[in-house]
Amino acid sequence: MQALGCVLLFLVVQLMVPAYSEGTWCYDSQDPKCGPTHWKEIAPACGGPTQSPINIDLHLVQKDSTLQPFIFQGYNLAPPGPWSLENDGHTVLLHMDTGLQNGLEIWGAGLPPPAYRALQLHFHWGAPGHTGSEHSLDGQRYSMEMHIVHINIKYQSMEEARRHPDGLAVLAVLLAEQDQDNANFSAIVLGLKNVSTPGVSVNMTSTFPLSSLLPGPLGLLRYYRYSGSLTTPGCEPSVLWTVFENAVPIGRVQVAQFQTVPQAGMLGLHPEPLTDNFRPLQPLGGRSILASPKASIRAAAPPGSPILAGVHRALLVLGLSLVVWHDP
């Protein structure tokens, strides 16, 4: 009986080990052997020079007067749907693309014409007590990050769009944790219990205005733009990123619900929860980060300013002062 018990215990343990196969990808929290440092082995573009996410360094951003307000079509309405919620084992996705006429489009804001159609949105989050956003703003990371993925309507499929530098436009919304729930996320959070198995997709009972998940009217005018990539394999450099400066609140309990979503790659009755499903920051390289006219920037320190500061202190000791003029 003892031998049989050992065999049964061994079988149970074996059923709970990661089931990632060669050629698949994951996050380090799932299995470091197929985490982000290994992605370029299965998707060479992941090692390219224009990867995402990045840190938005406010000392490096440049104001761009062409980054005018977005034009949102259908964002303030609850579309007919149906929308579906999916746990793909790496994140939770809300699929909104019900065809070429789904009515959810964006244009303007410096995006190439003619327009971009919303396909899906998904989330990135950390482990309990830790931040989980992909982008950081002046070095600050947030509890979660939501990506609304749009396809350029001149392309017929996601596969085609991924092959072009103007193929996709992603709106990145930073989510800041607070004590009180945000009712605008309730429909998604309530649906999480219905996708407790990786690979499961369920239809939402209703839709809602996508605008309810975005920053307010003034916040929509404050954003940053750069050219980058998808943040998961194949990491194609086909994304025009918009990162909004103003974070949107989400409740602490709501964040915790995301942190209980089961991950992919685990065999057994009780898969481990998915946490830390974000890619590490990537080098900016020679890319420019543009800021809309209303977005915040920080002036870079002028060359030699530490020396000037020292001279200024010395002059103050002598009872004198130094005035330095900078052109506006």
Q: Over its length of 328 residues, how does the chain's per-residue pLDDT go in tens digits?
A: 444 343 332 222 333 334 444 458 999 999 999 999 999 999 999 999 999 999 999 999 999 999 999 999 999 999 888 899 999 999 999 999 766 567 899 999 999 999 999 999 999 999 999 999 999 999 999 999 999 999 999 999 999 999 999 999 999 999 999 999 999 999 999 999 999 888 999 999 999 999 999 999 999 999 999 999 999 999 999 999 999 999 999 999 999 999 999 987 554 456 789 999 999 999 999 999 999 999 999 986 555 444 333 433 343 334 433 333 333 3
Both structure tokens of 287: 């890319």
Average per-residue pLDDT for the chain: 86
Q: In the prediction, which pLDDT does 19 show? A: 44
Question: Residue 252 has what pLDDT?
Answer: 98
Between CA 239 and CA 254 the distance in angstroms is: 29
> 25-298: CATH homologous superfamily?
Alpha carbonic anhydrase (3.10.200.10)
Delimit the domains of the chain by residue range.
25-298
Q: In the prediction, which pLDDT does 302 show?
A: 55
pTM: 0.85
pLDDT for 244 equals 99
> What value, to the nearest 5°, has the Cα angle with vertex 252 and ends 248 and 255?
75
Query: Is residue 116 annotated as part of the catalytic site, yes or no?
Result: no
For 71, 170, 172, 173, the CA distances from 211, given in Å and listed in that order, are 12, 15, 13, 12
What residue type is 227 in one-letter code? Answer: S
pLDDT of residue 265: 58
Question: How would DSSP label each residue in 86-150?
Answer: EE-SS-EEEE---STT---EEEETTPPSS-EEEEEEEEEE-STTS---SSEETTB--SEEEEEEE
Active-site entry in 75, 142, 155, 223 = 155
Of 296, 209, 289, which Cα lies nearest the Cα of 241?
289
Cβ neighbours for 16, distance < 8 A, ≥ 6 positions apart: 266, 267, 268, 270
Q: Give the integer Cα–Cα distance in Å for 48 and 36.
A: 13
Of 125, 109, 107, which is closest to residue 174 (Cα–Cα)?
Answer: 125
Predicted local confidence at residue 248, as pLDDT: 99
| Cβ neighbour number for residue 11 with a 10 Å cutoff | 9
Predicted confidence at residue 323, as pLDDT, reads: 32
pLDDT for residue 97: 79
pLDDT given at position 305: 43
Active-site residue flag, 223: no
Query: Which of 245, 213, 107, 96 shows the shortest CA–CA distance to 166?
Result: 107
Q: Is 282 exposed, middle or buried (0-12, 13-18, 19+ CB in 10 A)?
A: buried
Encoded tokens for 93: 């996705």
